[in-house]
């Protein structure tokens, strides 16, 4: 039996670039489509709780209609894992870390690019932190492809 997906958790390292991109974009697309039974959150494996999204991440997200100015970093927790129907990580190593720290996440964890419409679905989404604007822009577009594919998948099931 296929489990209904209603609560999605996006996970990256610090919860200040990639997973907020994914959460913000997913929330925007779901709202535009009028889907009320889907929610997303984000967290980081090595997050410093309370940190803001990096300036360049905020700028790139804003250019795509996603406001991340109020986002504060959160750490992955047992509660987050328990409440999530699907956990999407940005890198294979994050999947391994998550499964080690939270064995109960078994069967819920996939790479975010698993739902990508273009290119490899098995590759990581590179961390833009500390890099130039173009790295953030490329990262956002990479995540946009995967999140759009995820929403298409959820609408078809």
**Out of 12, 41, 139, 145, which one is annotated catalytic?**
12
Cα–Cα dist 138/136, whole Å: 5
Widest CA span of the chain, in angstroms? 45
Active-site residue identified among 18, 41, 113, 139: 18
In the residue annotation, 139 being an active-site residue is answered as no
Average pLDDT rounded to a whole number, residues 67-84: 96
Q: List the domains of the chain with CATH numbers.
A: 7-156 (3.40.50.2300)
- Across the range 55-70, mean pLDDT stands at 97
Alpha-carbon span 107 to 33, nearest angstrom: 28
Q: Which of 121, 124, 127, 137 is catalytic?
A: 127
pLDDT tens for each residue of 22-60: 999 999 999 999 888 899 999 999 999 999 999 999 999
For the stretch 100-154, pLDDT in tens is 999 999 999 999 999 999 989 999 999 999 999 999 999 999 999 999 999 999 9
Tokens 């209904």 correspond to 4
Residues 79-85, mean pLDDT to the nearest whole number: 96
- Binning pLDDT at 50, 70 and 90, where does residue 1 land? very low
Four-point Cα dihedral 136, 141, 143, 145, nearest 10 = -170
Is it the case that residue 7 has pLDDT exceeding 80?
yes
Sign, CA dihedral 126-71-27-61, equals negative
In the residue annotation, 18 being an active-site residue is answered as yes
**Is-above-0.75 flag for pTM?**
yes
**Is position 79 annotated as part of the catalytic site?**
no
- What's the whole-number average pLDDT of the chain? 95
């Amino acid at each position: 039996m296929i489990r209904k997906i209603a609560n999605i958790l996006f996970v990256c390292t610090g919860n200040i670039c990639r997973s907020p991109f994914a959460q913000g974009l997913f929330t925007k697309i779901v709202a535009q489509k009028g889907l009320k039974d889907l929610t997303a959150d984000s967290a980081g494996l090595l997050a410093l709780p309370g940190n803001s999204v990096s300036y360049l991440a905020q700028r790139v997200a804003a250019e795509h209609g996603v406001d991340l100015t109020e986002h504060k970093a959160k750490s992955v927790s047992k509660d987050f894992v328990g409440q999530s129907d699907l956990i999407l990580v940005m890198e294979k190593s994050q999947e391994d870390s998550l499964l080690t720290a939270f064995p109960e996440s078994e069967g819920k964890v996939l790479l975010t690019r698993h739902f990508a419409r273009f290119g490899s679905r098995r590759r990581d989404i590179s961390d833009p932190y500390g890099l130039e604007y173009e790295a953030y822009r490329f990262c956002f577009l990479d995540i946009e492809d995967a999140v759009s594919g995820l929403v298409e998948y959820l609408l078809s099931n």
